[in-house]
Amino acid sequence: MKNNLIKIVASILMFLITLFISEPLIKKILFIIAYLIVGFNVLKKSIKNILKGEIFDENFLMSIATLGAFLIGEDEEALAVMLFYQIGELFNDYAVDKSKKSISKLMDIRPDYANLCIDDDIKKVDPSSVKIGDIIIVKPGEKIPLDGTIISGDTMIDTHALTGEAVLKHATINQDVLSGCINVNGVIKIEVKKKFKESTVNKILELVENASNKKSKSESFITRFSKIYTPIVVFIAVLLVIIPTLLNGNFSQWFYRALSFLVVSCPCALVISIPLSFFCGIGSASKIGVLVKGSNYLEKLAKTDIVVCDKTGTLTEGVFEVQKINTKKLSDEKLLMYAAYAENYSNHPISLSLKKAYNKKIDEDKIKDFKEILSRGVKASIDGKKVLVGNEQMMIENKIDFEKNNDIGTICYIAIDNQFSGSILISDKIKDDAYETIKMLKKYGVKRFIMLTGDRKKIALDVSNKLNIDECYYELLPNDKVLKVEELLKIRKNNLIFIGDGINDAPVITIADIGISMGGIGSDAAIEASDIVLMTDELSKIPKTINIAKKTLKIVKENIIFIITVKVIVLLLSAIGISTMWEAVFADVGVSVISVLNAFRILKTKK
């Protein structure tokens, strides 16, 4: 970009010098030098492509038109065509650089080195040479080079480059940390869990680098269109010279018109602006922490009428928490204490949620005779008291006279010394932005929002009713979800999105028109199976991304209509001799600059 700017400035200065020179030969030489400064690369590319057999491209059109202008003595116009073409390329380069900055922060996450612990020494090594099980040290201000578990230290982690979130995260011993994050203020030792090739940072970088390989239908159409369109206009330009010259003579006049016709017909405005628009759309999405794997998915996203969504971990937090405590005689804290102690040796999600809610150190010396009963619950002796914690069946089998709890969720009944003492409601919490997300999706044209879940009917319908979901299917096995989505794919009018957690829902994500992973950060299945990865668990980013996709497609259509309309008008005017080379320059370069600037608007999409 900098080199192009220098060439443009040098060429303009050379042109200004010609204004003060009257000698025709010297003036001609200066024009040729100025032309070669800005046009040499175009001529070079044109010759190379001709030798390869790829004749009809914008380089060929620009070369033949400007060299022809020199032949008929239109030196100023020949220089102007090439100069303005390069100015248009400069604007395009600027727009590309600007949009790249939107995803450049992702590229900055690539680690330069890892501090490998070898005995008592620390050695800087290439991250790709570190093995699983090796110990690395990350100092304040350094990037975490590989995925692993903290074995020593306490710090705050900046995940902004991966997730777009500005809030720092606390990380301490036994917590997993991901490559690409920045260690803010403490020295930490990490045991490496993945090789660099399999690490989060490398997978994300590969995703970003390969995004441009998957073209949208619009881009593919423009590529095919150019290959057919360019030889046709060259053939028409040749006829425009030959036929009128044979009939009326005046070769110079018709040759000039044909050259103008060639300049106008150059398809570079379409070839540049359409891919650039999609690239800007991908860059705009990355600003909010959404990775789109290709412009084809961005185009599909703009034309969506069915959204199918998993429940746990997608519409809900996916973390079971104590929501309510109902007690008979004991205090809430005392009842929770007995439940947490009884569940201490179990790793069941319900047990973990009870211990988390209690949030105090458990004295294991007080726990005796622990026993876990499959599909029922647990029993143990706590401080000499016989404690039962479990479901209804557990109470019935132990002949406990209990009060049924009708709250929606998982109910843990607690009995102490064969006396019913109360119940604890544990349930998954609906995400704060779930309702607003569904509302916004409807605003952006989604006709049906469908929830699929393996959860029980009562819980599924409760979530469905609270969120005003159109259709809800429950108690589904993973294969049932696949069959349901396949059924919906047969009746959809436009595209179907499936939103899941990227791990359990990988098969469904794969078969959907667009598979979106929630909280894809750190999930191999999410990054590989899905077409779009949300780097956090924020459901609200989906309608925002659809908005970006719709804006991108709108600008693409605007550019196509504008470019073709102007070119058709000026082509006709060139053929009948009304427009000159200057109008031709505008129809080519001017239109390119305007369409590039229009594409640039996509990056201004508000967060």
Kindly report, residue by residue over 289-320, the tens digit of the pLDDT: 888 888 888 889 999 999 999 887 788 887 77
Pick from 217, 210, 221, 232: nearest CA to 271: 221
pLDDT above 70 (res 509): yes
pLDDT given for residue 524 in this prediction = 60
pLDDT given for residue 223 in this prediction = 60
Q: Dump the DSSP string for 167-178.
A: S-EEE-TT-EE-
- Domain 291-315+431-535 homologous superfamily, CATH: HAD superfamily/HAD-like (3.40.50.1000)
Distance (Å, whole) CA 190 – CA 108: 21
Q: 114-209 has which CATH code?
A: 2.70.150.10
pLDDT given for residue 547 in this prediction = 93
Q: To the nearest whole percent, how much of the chain has pLDDT over 90?
A: 29
pLDDT given for residue 437 in this prediction = 93
Average pLDDT over residues 440-456: 89
Distance (Å, whole) CA 508 – CA 476: 13
CB 583 within 8 A of CB 570: yes
pLDDT above 70 (res 274): yes
Residue 552 main-chain phi, psi, to 5 deg = -60, -50
Task: At 522, list the tokens.
Answer: 């750190």
| Spatial CB neighbours of 155, under 8 Å, sequence gap ≥ 6 | 140, 170, 171, 172, 183, 184, 185, 186, 187, 188
Distance (Å, whole) CA 416 – CA 379: 10
Task: At 504, list the tokens.
Answer: 């359990």
Number of H helices, E strands in the chain: 21, 22
Per DSSP (E only), the strands in 42-146 are: 114-118, 121-125, 135-138
| Spatial CB neighbours of 136, under 8 Å, sequence gap ≥ 6 | 114, 115, 116, 117, 130, 145, 146, 148, 189, 190, 192
Task: At 500, list the tokens.
Answer: 């899941």
Per DSSP (E only), the strands in 417-534 are: 419-430, 448-452, 471-473, 495-500, 514-517, 532-534
pLDDT given for residue 182 in this prediction = 87
CB 282 within 8 A of CB 211: yes
Q: Looking at the whole model, is its pTM more than 0.75?
A: no
513 belongs to the catalytic site: no
CATH class of 319-429: alpha beta
Distance (Å, whole) CA 355 – CA 52: 71
The model's confidence at residue 472, banded by pLDDT at 50, 70 and 90, is very high
pLDDT above 90 (res 283): no
Residue 406 main-chain phi, psi, to 5 deg = -100, 10
The model's confidence at residue 21, banded by pLDDT at 50, 70 and 90, is confident
Place of tokens 């619009």: 218
In which residue ranges of the chain is CATH 3.40.1110.10 found? 319-429
Distance (Å, whole) CA 295 – CA 104: 18
The model's confidence at residue 109, banded by pLDDT at 50, 70 and 90, is low
In which residue ranges of the chain is CATH 3.40.50.1000 found? 291-315+431-535
368 φ/ψ sector (left φ>0, alpha ψ -120 to 50, else beta): beta
Kindly report, residue by residue over 393-431, the tens digit of the pLDDT: 899 999 999 999 988 888 899 999 999 999 999 888 888
In which residue ranges of the chain is CATH 2.70.150.10 found? 114-209
Set 310, 428, 501, 505: catalytic member? 310
Question: Could you tell me the CA-to-CA distances from 250 to 229, 429, 578 in Å, in that order?
Answer: 28, 82, 16
